[in-house]
């Protein structure tokens, strides 16, 4: 069983949308994610961030990925974030939701994905 680090409703800005005019200005998105890590035991026992995933670093990483390039789909951004986090940090699982505030008659639209790190060799 994995231990989880959770970040809820991180505000990021991204050029995103199918129509070109929607990508003209950055849009506010909220990103929530769980990061599954092997165990907090060693980090907790040593009280040392070096033995866990530094969520401040992860947050900055997510913001950079969102701002990096324009995308048409939330699905593309979700895949980009999940894949990049798995490569950049010692995590086993990413559960990710991105909320977009584009429809006037809905609170938000969102996509959710779960991605696992490839098995260790």
Catalytically annotated residues: 100
| Token pair listed for 59 | 């947050």
Distance between CA atoms of 15 and 6, rounded to whole angstroms?
Answer: 25
Phi, psi of 103 (to 5 degrees): -90, 125
Gap between the Cα atoms of 74 and 44, Å rounded = 35
H helices present in 25-117, as ranges: 41-46, 55-68, 74-88
Mutual orientation of helices 55-68 and 74-88 as an angle, nearest 10°? 140
């Amino acid at each position: 069983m994995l231990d989880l680090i959770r970040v809820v409703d991180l505000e990021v800005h991204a050029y995103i949308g199918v129509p070109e005019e929607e990508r003209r200005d950055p849009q506010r998105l909220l990103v929530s994610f769980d990061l599954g890590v092997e165990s907090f035991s060693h980090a907790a026992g040593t009280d040392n961030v070096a033995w866990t995933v530094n969520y401040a670093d992860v947050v900055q990483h997510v913001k950079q990925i969102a701002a990096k390039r324009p995308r048409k789909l939330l699905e593309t951004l979700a895949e980009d974030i999940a894949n990049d986090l798995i490569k950049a940090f010692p995590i086993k699982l990413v559960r990710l939701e991105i909320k977009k505030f584009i429809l006037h008659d809905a609170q938000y639209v969102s996509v959710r994905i779960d991605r696992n790190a490839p098995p260790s060799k």
